[in-house]
Amino acid sequence: MSQILDLVGIFVFALSGALMGVRKRLDAVGMLVLAGMTALGGGVLRDLVLNVRPIAFQSLGYVLVPVAATVIVFFWHPHVARVMPAILVLDAAGLGLFCAVGTEKALEYGLNPLHATLLGVTTAVGGGMLRDVLAGEIPTLLYDRQLYAVPAMLGSGAMAALSAWGLHGWPATLAAAVLAFGLRVTAMRRNWRAPLARGVSE
Amino acid sequence: MSQILDLVGIFVFALSGALMGVRKRLDAVGMLVLAGMTALGGGVLRDLVLNVRPIAFQSLGYVLVPVAATVIVFFWHPHVARVMPAILVLDAAGLGLFCAVGTEKALEYGLNPLHATLLGVTTAVGGGMLRDVLAGEIPTLLYDRQLYAVPAMLGSGAMAALSAWGLHGWPATLAAAVLAFGLRVTAMRRNWRAPLARGVSE
Amino acid sequence: MSQILDLVGIFVFALSGALMGVRKRLDAVGMLVLAGMTALGGGVLRDLVLNVRPIAFQSLGYVLVPVAATVIVFFWHPHVARVMPAILVLDAAGLGLFCAVGTEKALEYGLNPLHATLLGVTTAVGGGMLRDVLAGEIPTLLYDRQLYAVPAMLGSGAMAALSAWGLHGWPATLAAAVLAFGLRVTAMRRNWRAPLARGVSE
């Protein structure tokens, strides 16, 4: 079950990477690289920090799903772009899932709750940041004032808290993922915005 | 033998990094950083994924060769730039060698053929991508439509296939490297181009 | 003692990251990400190469100090910017300390003096380079011709030499750090400049 959810998250993140490739007029290779980086980058960073072999280099699906997403975007990107609102919701689901699963794995490897939360957020937002840097842009989440990292932070923190209270297993993971997902979707709908430093005009 | 070929590949990659430094009007430190990143970055990424200490931090030659390449470019870069056509051929040799050796090392550490191929390509193209990102540019291989990553992919795949068929040792490595090299040189000569997504005009 | 000095270095590096965030008009999340990357990035890279869990994910202070630096810059950045000359001196202290401590840790993990020096320099300058790349700029130290990496190189080399001569412990670390710090401050005062490649006009 969590394996399937994980692959859904990877698929959605890979779509966003491949679409960025189309927008920047990259070729097929560039689209594939951005798709793979977006989908797998956060998990690879997490596993490098945990000092284990990245899961992206152990499981077949982790390689095939970004390839499939790239093929779909290559041939049908106008349709994919048209359903972007739906994709943004799926992306929020991927964000929620990745932060919950990332935090859980970090706790399993013995990190304390604070560092596990930090690593969960890294898992959730790392791939998107790599995508933006490779595409020659400042990572969106650094400046666009949408709440993207903050829901991941709260979801990861919730996962760490639940675990500290002895609540483990997929219900806890799902609860943390749903919290981050709900916050992210609400932030989009209500247009909640991160503050600028005091005195910096909009 | 493979040690010498490896150092030749590092030398050529370091030349391309240092030349990029001259083109971007970086100072001597910037030239050295770009030379080192280009030459060693791919191998460091590979070894981090394999969870072993990067070979660049174990062997003397891996540090000295980029320094030597930087010194040469610092004093004689107009001559080096003039022989760029020859350097592009040497770069293709480096690409072939790095993808074959990278895939071989990944297989030795127990990755399956698909993931070993992926890691071989990472070894071959990772350094150049880091060079471009540090120089403030979108990595060339994402947009320039030349076939650069694709020959590495086929060379890595051939290495993994030969190994799966029980063919090991330097003849197999050399065959895979020559395949990638030949494809890369042919792609340059015939100006083969990677496709853009459907409907994106040139 | 060295723990406190380490946290001072992290604090100063985090200030410089958060200030870069204000300058680029990033939001609060972007300021925090840049602060954390600048402060912790070099040490994380070092620990990944050494194949150990990054210290930033083990110690509470390493997470809290960048948060504190971001809060300070968020509310009082005009004052912080006004004391930038003092901060540049503190940054030089951080540079000296990070290169000495980084080299020492690399030697402890069995790297030879040359590679330990290289890793010490990576520790000292890696965070600032990540900050610049994330902020969409070419890393300052690649082109601005100030001597920034060179003092780190000499400090790291001194640390490795002292250790090779049997001198260990905090007096040796402090001596190497003071050397790099002194060279960096002198380079700033006298405006020493790194050379451009021969024939490249200023």
Distance, in Å, from the CA atom of A169 to the CA atom of B100, rounded to the nearest integer, reads 42
Residue-level pLDDT at C188: 92
Q: Residue C198 corresponds to which tokens in the numbers above? A: 């021969």
Note whether A56 and A123 are within 8 A (CB).
no
Rounded average pLDDT over C62-85: 90
Quickly list DSSP for A151-184.
HHHHHHHHHHHHHHTT--HHHHHHHHHHHHHHHH
What are residue A146's DSSP bridge partners? A193
Contact at CB, A143 and C75, closer than 8 angstroms: no
Kindly report the nearest CA distance between residue B141 and chain A, in angstroms.
Answer: 7
Ranges A131-135, B4-8, B67-71, B144-148: which has the least confidence: B4-8
Identity of the residue in C115, C118, C142 whose CB atom sits nearest the CB atom of B134: C142
Interfacial residues of C (vs A; Cβ cutoff 8 Å): 21-22, 24-31, 33-34, 44, 48, 51-54, 57-58, 60, 63, 73-78, 133-136
Nearest Cα to C181, choosing from C117, C115, C88, C43?
C88
What is the C-alpha R_g of chain B? 16
Contact at CB, B29 and C142, closer than 8 angstroms: yes
Q: Which band of pLDDT confidence, cut at 50, 70 and 90, is reported for residue B173? A: very high
Length of chain B: 202
Residue-level pLDDT at B179: 97
CA B82 to centroid of chain Cα atoms: 21
Residue-level pLDDT at C168: 82
Contact at CB, A142 and C21, closer than 8 angstroms: yes
**Residue A53: closest C-alpha in chain C:** C51
Identity of the residue in A119, A144, A194 whose CB atom sits nearest the CB atom of C28: A194
Question: Please, what is the average pLDDT of chain B?
Answer: 92
For residue A114, which residues of chain C lie inside 8 Å, CB to CB? 60, 63
* B147 φ/ψ angles, rounded to the nearest 5 degrees: -85, 105
Q: Report whether pLDDT(A170) > 70.
A: yes
The CA-atom distances, in angstroms, between B25 and each of B87, B199, C194 are: 20, 38, 12
Neighbours of B97 (CB within 10 A): 27
What is the C-alpha R_g of chain A? 16
Distance, in Å, from the CA atom of B127 to the CA atom of B33, rounded to the nearest integer, reads 12
Can you say whether residue A191 is alpha, beta or left, with left for phi > 0 and alpha for psi between -120 and 50 degrees? left
State the distance between the two ends of chain A, measured CA to CA, in whole angstroms.
Answer: 44
The larger pLDDT score, comparing residue B5 to residue C132, is at: C132
Instruction: Please give the single-letter amino acid code of residue C184.
Output: R
Distance, in Å, from the CA atom of C100 to the CA atom of C120, rounded to the nearest integer, reads 7
- Alpha helices by DSSP H, chain A: 2-23, 28-50, 60-82, 84-108, 113-134, 140-143, 149-164, 169-190
Rounded average pLDDT over B56-61: 92
Question: Please, what is the average pLDDT of chain C?
Answer: 92
Residue-level pLDDT at A109: 95
Q: Report whether pLDDT(C87) > 90.
A: no
> So where are chain C's domains?
2-190
Contact at CB, B119 and A24, closer than 8 angstroms: no
Distance, in Å, from the CA atom of B142 to the CA atom of B151, rounded to the nearest integer, reads 14
Kindly report the nearest CA distance between residue A90 and chain C, in angstroms.
Answer: 22
Per-residue pLDDT tens over the stretch C102-149: 999 999 999 999 999 999 999 999 999 999 999 999 999 999 889 999
Q: Is the ipTM of this complex over 0.90?
A: yes
What are residue B27's DSSP bridge partners? C196
Q: Which residues are within 8 A (CB) of B143 and not within 5 positions of it... i.e. 6 or more apart?
A: A24, A25, A26, A27, A30
Residue-level pLDDT at C163: 94
Identity of the residue in C29, C48, C133 whose CB atom sits nearest the CB atom of A141: C29
Question: Tokens 């990677």 identify what position?
Answer: B194
Per-residue pLDDT tens over the stretch B87-127: 788 889 999 999 999 999 999 999 999 999 999 999 999 99
The residue of C142, C191, C192, C193 whose CB has the most chain B CBs within 10 angstroms, and thus the best one to mutate to test that interface, is: C142
Rounded average pLDDT over B27-48: 96
Question: Tokens 């181009």 identify what position?
Answer: B193
Per-residue pLDDT tens over the stretch C76-85: 988 887 877 7
